[in-house]
Structures are given as structure tokens and as C-alpha cells.
Amino acid sequence: MWRRRLLPVLAALCAVTGAVVVPAAADAGGTTLPAPTAVAPFHGHGSIGQAYVAGATPGMSLVLADASDHQVGRGTTDALGSLVVRNVAPGPGYTFRVTVDGKRAATAPFRVLAPADNPSAAFYASQHLHAGLNYLTMRDGVRLAATVRLPLGATMADAPFPTVMEISGYPIAGPHSLVDAVLGRNGETLSDPLLPSTSTAVGSLVAPLLGFATVSVQMRGTGCSGGAFDLFGLPTTYDGYDAVQIAAAQPWVAHHKVGLVGISFSGISQLFVAGTRPPGLAAVAPMSLTDDLYSTGFPGGMFNSGFAGSWLADRVADAKPAPAGGQTYAKVLIAQGDATCLANQDLHGQTLDLQSLLHQASHRVPALYDQRAPVTWAARTRVPVFLSGAFQDEQTGGQWPAIVPALSGDPHVWVTMVNGTHADSLGPGTISRWLEFLDIFVAQEVPKPVPLLSPLAPLLYTQLASAPSAPPPLQFTGEPNLAAARAAFEAQPRVRVLMDNGSGSKGPGALQPVWQAQFPSWPPPKAMATTFHLAPTGKLEAATPSSTSVSFRPDPEARPAVDLPTGNPWSALPPYAWAPVTGPIGLGFTSAPLTRDLTVIGPAALDLWVTSTAPDTDLQATVSEVRPDGSELFVQSGDLRASDRALDSAASTATHPVPTYLASAARPLPRGRYTEVRIPILPFAYSFRTGSRLRVTVTAPGGDRPVWVFATPPTGGTVTDTVGIGGPTPSALVLSVVPGITPPDAQPACPSLRGQPCRTYVTAQNGG
């Protein structure tokens, strides 16, 4: 096998504006159309739930007819002569109709595809991939750019290779070598416009250095790939099925199976593909993902105008037709004469403008989100899964552990959780386990020591996290055969929680967990819902206090919107500016000094009984630790718009309230009457140390995250929220406490933990 042999080896289009449009959708009605009398001068095509035209005259009015000559959609071709009609029922006999020179013309009939319309094995086997840039043909005729990257120093003569695939809408198919650029080989530099994005370094850098071939697949509607960008719409999802099957059919792919790898965008894409169940898929290893696009786009029911808003705007810009817009590598390849890349721009003007749609529907619309939710596809996954992520992920968010229960139907799932940032899912505490997983389930080999792993660490972590640290050696290298190695790997606990990341011997903020807790499932089965009641004078107590109330004036403009206005959140010690809660803008509730360590692992809830002078109010709950030295450590937060307080009763628990976020369930707060509002606090893992105090603060949203900005209405301090305490309004913090865990290390310095800023403790206006 190659991997083991590697070990010793150290113009007209420029005028197009590329404006994003909301493409045509299918009509609900069905006007009967007259029979055509001519053949249209262009072709119609079917995709999954869609019909499209490319190469027609710009500005042409088209009608989509079904097999019974009923009108089912219509639209006008864009500046490139293209049109996509979405939400079309699968079936044969569709035609596009147009009037040309006074004649009623129609395209040849075509089929609109269903998800189950998988091509034959011969369709996949007929496509031959070589090292470098390729174009893969999907089931609907759209062609995707895909660059094959061989292991370091390999040629096709060294095949077969264990092979992984990375799928992303970031510039991933840039055909030059990120390995060469990082290592300074062959005159390559990181300024080369034909390099893949460093955001896709898992497949384009890490995997080739560790002996895997990678197929870097450019998502539909981006870069040099054809089609229209539609963030995880069904055609995009089933492109993954087709790409896996094409790669698995190649003679140079070991075992005719591929794994999926990647972080962030290309981590999220993996569960969609896995849910389609392609036979050629061996395993998936997603990192830093989200459970639902809604939970990142609308945390607590409020639009995330910070990260989510800017990320969506960037994706729309990436999807514009090149060379006038779009991704840089596509512009360069077109300038160099890549006619296929140029032709593939024809549908880029038909991008589904999700940003516009999201602003039109701030509540969760199942028809829009369900098919775009990783958790939906996770429930269909049946291949081995290695999942990793950080609780304080500043980009996609810390709600991703909700995916783990959705994978309960898959018996081969291993999860690594860690405190930290978006990049920490690929940290030294994870990468060795990740490589063991790929060795066993993709390469189908006993793990063996990899000399390049240690030299790779400073390269990788300087690029990704600015805090180099060495990974531990691989396990299971002494097993006599693959079956024994697999059995040993599978015997490990399914959930591994890495604790106190950043407080190790490498220095404050280094990528270095100190200890770990392991569990058979998530949430931890031994976790106990433990209640701390909000009490008078800002106390947090185990016993239910006497009945009273306390008020504050939520003002989202009273503190900075983010806690990291400048700097890199992945650096060892970012320059956080985590502002205290002072004056009338919030409440604080703080426990007495703890008499023993309190380890909390799992989700949490702040159950507030609230009345407000406004019909709606936006709330944020933040859990922190107040140290004996007067410092305060951020642990986790959660947010909720009070009108979205209706819960999914079947999914909610004492520590994990699950709002439906449905428009039909939204209700204003009743004036003058207390109403329970259960704020979901994102999962976390932390041991509150003896002598410290547990604290929860209540404010308007904002100020406690590096890049999330909440689109919450300004109040000018004129709204008053009143929180009921004790008696019939027992507001309380409910935590997932795991008994019997004593941390082996001393209390981490403040600051040192990754993703967890510190500040000087300041008493809130109510004394907590």
C-alpha cells in the first residue's frame, strides 16, 4: 500500500453583472397550455426537484409544462440565458415553452428527478479521474470541478491509495499544491491564486501528507463547478452521492471505498452525503459543524447578523459567474483558457439567495430548513462516524452536540468534544484519534506510526490555530491484524470530552487539553439535572427562596456587540474585551463559594418567570465562574426571544429546552402576568473548582461572543423586564452535573482556557 511506502519519504462574459436573483419557483396551479407547433432553440433539463435551461436567449419568458400540458412554473432567463425552476414534482414529460417568431415552441421532454433516481454503476465507472483538475458529470448533467491530490511524492504508478474526499463551497478545487506551498517545494508560495483555500487544508494538506489521496470537490454553483448554488439543497446533497460513487469506481482507489473529511463547511457537507447512503462511502469524519442552519443563522430566534450574515454574503459573492465575479482561481483558469470552467458559469446567476429568503422568514420554516439541517441527514447515516467540535465555537456555534443523539441508529460513532474555538476540533488531542479512525475504516489497515505527523503539527497549528503543540502517538499500532485493531478501537467509549484545553504545560492558551472524561453516549447518562434557584440579593441557592422579584432594563447597545473587537480568536490569548454587566442593564446571581468541585457536562437551561413592559423581549443567559482572586471566567451562554418560548415537548428535558421557533407557535408576552421563558444554554464541559462561585447573568443578547451579533431591536433602556423569584415563579438555573468526577489538575489560570475569556468580577445591580 502506498501509504506505508511513503513513511521513509520526508471576455463577453466579463460584461455580465452576475447579479444574484431569487429564481423562479413552481406554480401551485395548472393552466392548460396549447399544443406546441415548433421546437425550442434550446434544451430543458431535469434535476432533483428542479427544471433548468441554459444557453437560451437572455430575457426570454419561459413556461414550464408537465406531461399533461399544465403550466407548473415560469420565469425569465437571466443575462447568461439561464433559468432554474425549483420545487417541481418528480416525473417525466416536462417541457419548457416559449413563443419564438410567433410560434409556440417547446423543448424535447425531459424528466425531473427524485432523490432515489440514482444512476447505474456504469454511469460512474465511465468517468476516469487523473491527478490534477477533473470535471465530474452529475446525474442531472451538471459538471463539478474536482482536483485529485496524491500522497506526498506519489504517482499513479504507486496506486492503489487509501482515499478521502473533501466537498466544499470554499475554493477547494484550485489545482495547485497546498503541500508544496506550505513546504516551500517546487517554487510554490501561499500567494498562488490557484491554490485551494487553507480552509480546506484537511483534505488538501493534511491527508496527502499522511499518506491519503484526496478528491477535492467544488460544490455546485461555485468556482469552476457548474450548476446553481443552493446551500445544501437536494441537488447539492446528491452531488455528494455521485461524487463518492465516481471516486469509488476508480482503479487507483484502495478497496473502492472513500472516506469524507473536512472542517467547517466541508465538515457540515459530510453528514448530508452520508445520509444519502452511497455504497462507495467507507466512513465520515466531520469537524466543527452545526446541527441546523437555523441554529447558527437565528440563535435564539434572532438573526445572527455577525458571522452568519457575513458568511452568507460571502457565499453569494463566491457563487457569482466568473470571470466578472466569483472565486479567484476560476477567473485565473478562465483567463488561461479553461473552456469547461467558463461554460460551467452558465447557471451561476441562478443562485438561490438564501440571505434574502432568511430575512423574509425569521422563524424556522420546516420546508426551507429540514432538508438543509445536518441533524436530519445524520439520522439516516449508517457508516462509521468520527465527529469532533468545540463547545465555544465562535463561528458555527456550540449547539452541534445535538447531532450525537440523531446518530443513535448508527452503532459506529465516536465523538470528541473540547472547550475552545472553531479550529480546536482539529487540535492535537483529536488528530491522532482521527488518523487511527481513517487507518482502520478507510485505509483498512492497522495503524502504524507516521513520522510526518509530528513535523506536520507546527505547520498545521501555526496555520490554523497559532498555538503549536505535538499530538500524542497513535494507538493500536501493536495489534496483529485489522480485525484486532478495529475491535480495540470500537471498544473505546463513544464520547470523549477533553477538559481544560489551554491550561497545559505548553503555556496559557496552547492547543493542549489536560484531562478527559469518557461516556457511552450523549448527553452523559450519569448527568443529573441540578437546580440552582435565583434568590433575593443576587444569590444562587439550592433551596427554593421566598417569593419576590427583581427588574432590569435590557439594552443591547449598552455593551459592545462582541467580546473580541479585534484580533484572532484562534490565537493563544486573544485580546478579549469582555465587558462587565453594570447598572440597570442586567442581573447577576452568584452562589456561595463551592465546598467541592462541581463538574458540569452537557446542556443547561435558565428557566425564567418573566413579565415585561414590552410585548416581546430578547434575553441572554451567561454562565461563568467567579474565582477567589476576583477574576471571572466565561463558561457558556444561550439566548432566546421570549415570543419563541413554545417548546417541542417531546424533545425538551430539564436541562435542554428545545424551542420550536415556528411562526405558528410564537406568542407575545401577556402584559402584567408572569410567563415561564426557558432559555437554552449551549452545552459545555467545565469543573467549577472548590472555593469558586457559580454565576449566571441575565442581559439583552450580545457582548459575550467574538463574532456573533444579534439583530435585536434597540430599547434605549426604556423596556423593563421583571424576573419572578421563588414561590409561584421559581426562576432557576438547571445544570447537567456529573457526579464523581474530580479534576486531576489545579484550577486553570484566568485567562488560559481556549474560547473562554476572563474579566474582573463586578457585582451586578441586584448584588449578584
The string of DSSP codes covering 406-458 is HTTT-S-EEEEEESS-GGGGGSHHHHHHHHHHHIIIII-S-----TTHHHHHH
Task: Name the one residue in this structure whose C-alpha cell is 453516549.
Answer: 521
Q: Which CATH superfamily is domain 528-760 in?
A: Galactose-binding domain-like (2.60.120.260)
Instruction: For residue range 694-750, list pLDDT tens digits in order.
Output: 999 999 999 999 999 999 999 999 999 999 999 999 999 999 999 999 999 999 999
* 467: confidence class by pLDDT, cuts 50, 70, 90: low
Q: Which of 628, 610, 630, 629 is nearest to 619 (CA)?
A: 610
Compute the Cα dihedral for 601, 603, 609, 613 and give only its sign: positive
What does residue 461 show for φ and ψ, rounded to 5 degrees? -80, -25
Peptide bond into 151 cis (omega under 30): no
pLDDT of residue 361: 66
pLDDT of residue 487: 98
Question: What is the Cα–Cα distance from 414 to 412, expressed in whole angstroms?
Answer: 7
CB under 8 Å to 270, separation ≥6 — which residues? 167, 260, 261, 262, 284, 285, 286, 289
Query: Which amino acid, one-letter code, is at 739?
Result: P
Q: Where do the structural domains in the chain lie, given as residue ranges?
A: 15-112, 121-519, 528-760
Question: What is the Cα–Cα distance from 416 to 424, expressed in whole angstroms?
Answer: 11
Helix 453-464 with 428-438: angle, nearest 10 deg? 130
* 443: confidence class by pLDDT, cuts 50, 70, 90: very high
Question: What is the Cα–Cα distance from 669 to 665, expressed in whole angstroms?
Answer: 13
Q: Which of 588, 577, 675 is nearest to 623 (CA)?
A: 588
Compute the Cα dihedral for 496, 402, 200, 116 and give only its sign: positive
The DSSP code sequence of 293-314 is: HHHHHSGGGS-BTTHHHHHHHH
Do β-strands 495-499 and 515-519 pair in parallel, antiparallel, or remain unpaired? antiparallel
For 377, the enclosing helix (H) or strand (E) is helix 374-378
Question: What is the Cα–Cα distance from 676 to 114, expressed in whole angstroms?
Answer: 44
pTM: 0.95
- Cell of residue 355, nine digits: 440571505
Give the full edge-to-edge strand order of the sheet including 515-519.
132-137, 143-149, 213-218, 161-168, 253-263, 281-287, 385-390, 413-418, 495-499, 515-519
Q: How does DSSP classify residue 476? A: S
231 touches 354 (CB < 8 A): yes
More confident residue, 295 or 456: 295
Do β-strands 143-149 and 132-137 pair in parallel, antiparallel, or remain unpaired? antiparallel
pLDDT of residue 372: 92
**Region 452-459 average pLDDT:** 79
Do β-strands 693-699 and 721-725 pair in parallel, antiparallel, or remain unpaired? unpaired
CATH code of the domain made up of 15-112? 2.60.40
- Cell of residue 730, nine digits: 421559581
pLDDT of residue 453: 84
User: Chain-centre distance of CA 18, in angstroms?
Assistant: 27
* 603: confidence class by pLDDT, cuts 50, 70, 90: very high
Please determine, for residue 9, whether its predicted confidence score (pLDDT) is greater than 50.
no
Q: Which of 754, 243, 176 is nearest to 503 (CA)?
A: 754
* 470: confidence class by pLDDT, cuts 50, 70, 90: confident
Mean pLDDT (the chain) is 93
Please determine, for residue 30, whether its predicted confidence score (pLDDT) is greater than 80.
no
Question: What is the Cα–Cα distance from 136 to 583, expressed in whole angstroms?
Answer: 60
pLDDT of residue 25: 56
Which of 29-33, 182-186, 657-661 has the lowest average pLDDT?
29-33
Numbers of helices and strands, H then E, in the chain: 18, 32
Q: What percent of the chain has pLDDT over 70?
A: 94
CATH code of the domain made up of 121-519? 3.40.50.1820
More confident residue, 158 or 471: 158
Please determine, for residue 3, whether its predicted confidence score (pLDDT) is greater than 80.
no
Instruction: For residue range 212-224, list pLDDT tens digits in order.
Output: 999 999 999 999 9
Question: What is the Cα–Cα distance from 319 to 599, expressed in whole angstroms?
Answer: 46
Question: Residues of 752-766 as b/e, b for ≥16 C-beta within 10 angstroms?
Answer: bbbbbbbbebeebbb
- Cell of residue 234, nine digits: 437536494
* 28: confidence class by pLDDT, cuts 50, 70, 90: low
616 touches 643 (CB < 8 A): yes
Question: Residues of 675-697 as b/e, b for ≥16 C-beta within 10 angstroms?
Answer: bebbbbbbbbbbbbbeebbbbbb
Q: Which of 261, 303, 259 is nearest to 283 (CA)?
A: 259
